[in-house]
Structure 1
Amino acid sequence: MTAKQIGWALHWVVRMAAFAMLMPYALAKLGLMQMGRPDFPDLLITLGEKSPMGLLWTFMGFSPVVQFLAGLAEFVAAVLVLWRRTAWLGGLIGFVDLAVVWLLNMTFDVPVKIPSAFQALLYLLVLVPWLPRVFRFFAGRATEAVEAPRVITSEKIHRVTRFFPVLALVASLGAGGYAMATGIPRALDREGSEPSGLYSVAGGDIAPADDLAQDNRWSEVAFGSYDGAQAGNFYRVEGGETPEGDFHGLFALRRASGALQLGFYTLNHDRVIIQLTAPVTDDGVNAAPRGPVEETLEFTWRADGDALELVPADGDAFVLTPSEIGTTLLDRPFSWVSQPFNR
């Protein structure tokens, strides 16, 4: 085998590595699984409480179109590098795309800074054999074809290996399709459960405290609208078991003191079980509702028009009234021409 054949063999290895590393991210974005979509509990987290990464995830998740197109760009780049004739275009698209991803990771403090830089480098290496040709093209000069030798000289082996790109693509699409079918229930709608929404709270039997910073009365609550796997870490809660029920979703509670607690709720007919984790702090430990569960509450719930009532076994009921402005981010409709609404 000549040095040129060895070089192109290594180039094939780089192309396959580039494909394998990027395709999961591409499919996750195409299926709206990587950033998800903002849900009602997310609305109780203020801008000042957001982490830089959380802000980026909210920004990307808010628009399914943006997230989908970002995944489509990665998908096209990954597919194009499977075939040597189109690898140069895949390398170009992939390098530009991953350079932007790396920049976002750097400026929004996303942990995968080095992996994204490595992937960008891989796609640049894919492009390297065609770089002189690309430069001449943009300079308006004549460009000659890149002559690459056949690395596998055996015709019998080549008849089999030439189908590898197609098989790799079919396998990745099959795996991605399965993940989407099982991992993103209700990802494209917000039907949720009947209690789903953001509410202001009145009532209850929690006594006010003299010090507002210690006041544990309920101020606002949010019931998530995504069930199952879309509820994220529900099934990995520390110190708590998944209650039996028809619907499992995220839950958020803002107390009068300003403390924010994230957790989960389970509906079982007219019963709702709420599991709360520790109040959110700036240490990043419980940035997501993983646990351990600190408090488990059980209520009978009933609808009263648009309002809800949560009735404990003993004590006064909590009266939940839908928030009038708290859901603006999700409720604001699209329009081609409108008055500026920049808040």
Structure 2
Amino acid sequence: MDGERESAERQGAPWSGPLRFAFRFFFIYLILYIFPSPLTYIPWAGAKLDQFWTVLKRGAVVPVGRTVFGVDITVFPGGSGDTTYNYVELFVFAVAALLGAAVWALVDRRLRFGPALLSGLRVYVRYTLGLTLFTYGIVKIIKTQFPTPDAYRLSTEFGDLSPMGLLWAFMGYSYGYNLFAGLAEAGAGLLLFYRRTTLLGSIVGAGVMSNVVALNFFYDVPVKLFSAHLLLQCFFLMAPDFPRLMNLLVLNRPVAPSPRLSAFATPWLHWTWFGVKTAVLGLVVSFGAFQTAQSYFAFGGGARNLPITGLYRVETFVADGQERPPLTTDESRWRDVVIGRVAPWDGLGTFRVRTMTGGSEWFRFRYDEDGARITLVGVRQGPGRVPGGTPGAGGEEEPVEHEIVFSRAEDGALILEGNVNGRALRTVLRERPVQEFPLMSRGFRWINEYPFNR
């Protein structure tokens, strides 16, 4: 802890009863919501602590959901942070904070250590919020959060996009805007690590997070609760300086500097701690940036493409020896095929098919370059579905594999032959370069004699 201290006026002035109760409530609520961060950054031990805390929370949230709200919670936070579980969890935290504040008021009515606890809470919030904002910033600077629209996204009809998919495509298109947003987030996070720049960091963070919260709410991105709490934490850090900001920005009154007291008796202790803290933070943020860079080159924009990666039009489609013409009413004939990269964590790539009627099939595949073959693994039909399999006994899914041999024709066409879903297929595919899409070829121009809005 870097010994953050409030101004002498704030430490000396007695707190009113409502203010003491509000402090108790937010003290308990914020710790319940934020914990165990930032301890989760500790190798091995952090993961174990997070696992223990998750089990502990579920033991309270699931029964409350069933008894108070009449819902059986079966979906737990994973890709979404706005699940039923998350909303019931907030209710549990709020009730626990209310009860805890009431008991605390009975035990310590005068709140004898209020200023010291507030100082400690602000330090805790500063570091956890700073690390979070820096993390969100670095994944935009090193472009992994919003990937450049791939062939499948580019070939998807606009009306078939979800609101979240539209936002991801919008953000993913422009690296410049990612860099702008990422520098703002990461910069706000770095400013929060130091008490002298906390107010500036919280103001910048509040501006950035206000935009993020608006995007999450209005584009239905399932991190609404989390982003709203990050914004709340920015306002919490700003709160002691609200009167000064009001005088400066609204009332046009002079504002005196906010006195800050060092936690150390001598300057050399202060500067020693400053150096140690900066070195540790430098290691933490450098490691985070290194991990993000690894992700970028492993499966992001810097990953290696396979020789067959790309978007293909299906020129010829033969099923069980019968050629199928490209009729828009044929729901089983392929129209487009997108072959993606191989993911480093499981060695599987994505193989997505769009049919003539607009339906989709999504496979994973193993790639064998030496054998000139790919093995499709698991399939589920329908738009927006994830890779799966076929129902087996007991209702569980069993993996399904389909082996396909690929070759190149003299004119460069990709030929696929194999059995898929019980059909013997032979397809001739013609690649469509992504630069054929105006979105990817237009680029930035200083001079526009006429608007290009299509």
TM-score, L = length of structure 2: 0.62
Rounded Cα–Cα distance in structure 2 between residues aligned with 1:53 and 1:312 = 36
Q: Which residue of 2 aligns with 1:104?
A: 215
Secondary structure at the counterpart of residue 272 of structure 1 = strand
SS at match of 1:340: coil
Deviations 1:106-153 (A, max 9, x none): 111111111111111111112223333333333443221011233455
* Equivalent residue in structure 2 for 1:178, among 290, 293, 308: 290
* Amino acid across the alignment from 2:362: L
- For the pair 1:257 / 2:363, whether they are aligned, the reply is no
Q: Distance in 1 between matches of 2:264 and 2:229?
A: 28
Percent identity for Structure 1 against Structure 2: 26
Higher relative contact order (CA closer than 8 Å, sequence separation 6+)? 1
Mean alpha-carbon deviation: is it higher for 165-174 or for 111-120?
Answer: 165-174
Larger gyration radius, structure 1 or structure 2: 2
CA contact (8 A) 2:408 2:415 kept: yes
Change (3 A) 1:82 1:190: closer
Contact 1:201 1:318 in 2 (8 A): yes
Report the 3-state secondary structure (helix = DSSP H, G, I; strand = E; otherwise coil) of the residue aligned with 1:304. coil
Report how many residues are paired. Answer: 321
Q: Quote the Cα distance in structure 1 between the aligned partners of 2:445 and 2:403.
A: 42
**Partners of 1:168 and 1:51 in 2: CA distance:** 42
Aligned to 1:26: 137
**Alpha-carbon distance in structure 1 between the residues aligned to 2:441 and 2:338:** 15
Output the amino acid matched with 2:343. G
Does structure 1 residue 291 correspond to structure 2 residue 403?
A: no
Name the counterpart of 1:320: 429
SS of alignment partner, residue 26 of structure 1: helix
The question of whether the paired residues in 1 share the 8 Å contact of 2:135 and 2:186 is answered with no
Residue in structure 2 matched with residue 245 of structure 1 by the alignment? none
Q: 1:30–1:71: 8 Å Cα contact kept in structure 2? A: yes
Match of 1:219 in 2: 335
Tell me the CA shift for residue 16 of structure 1. 1.5
* 8 Å Cα contact 1:307/1:319 also seen in 2: yes
TM-score, normalised to structure 1's length? 0.80
Find the aligned partners of 1:320 and 1:328 in 2 and give their Cα distance: 22
Q: CA deviation at 1:316?
A: 6.6
How far, CA to CA, are the matches of 1:161 and 1:312 in structure 2?
66
Name whichever structure is richer in helix by fraction: 2
Q: Which residue of 1 aligns with 2:278?
A: 166
SS of the aligned residue for 2:261 comes to coil
Mark the CA change 1:79 to 1:324 in structure 2 (over 3 Å): closer, same or farther.
closer
Residues 218 and 254 in structure 1, CA contact (< 8 A), matched pair in contact too: yes
Contact 2:149 2:169 in 1 (8 A): yes
Residue 343 of structure 2 corresponds to 228
In terms of mean alpha carbon deviation, does 51-60 or 24-33 score higher? 24-33
Query: Residue 201 of structure 1: SS of its match in structure 2?
Result: strand
Structure 1: 5+ residue stretches without partners: 236-241, 243-247
Contact 1:23 1:78 in 2 (8 A): yes
Tell me, in whole angstroms, the C-alpha distance in 1 between the residues paired with 2:167 and 2:387: 21
Superposed CA offset, 1:34-65 (max 9, x none): 12222112223322222211111111111122
Shift of the 291–328 alpha-carbon distance from structure 1 to 2, 3 Å rule, reads: farther
Specify every segment of 5 or more residues in structure 2 that has no aligned partner in the other structure, as ranges.
1-111, 390-398
Distance 1:50 1:103, change over 3 A: same
* Alignment match, 2:369: 268
RMSD: 3.2
Distance 1:39 1:175 in 2: 28
Q: 2:382 aligned with 1:280, yes or no?
A: yes
State the match for 2:416 in structure 1. 310
1:204 is displaced (CA, Å) by 3.2
User: 1:276 Cα shift?
Assistant: 5.7
In structure 2, the residue corresponding to 1:170 is in which secondary structure? helix
Distance 2:437 2:164 in 1: 22
Whether the 8 Å contact between 1:6 and 1:151 is mirrored in structure 2 is no
| Residue of structure 2 aligned with 1:87, choices 198, 219, 231 | 198
Q: Structure 1 residue 71 and structure 2 residue 216: aligned?
A: no
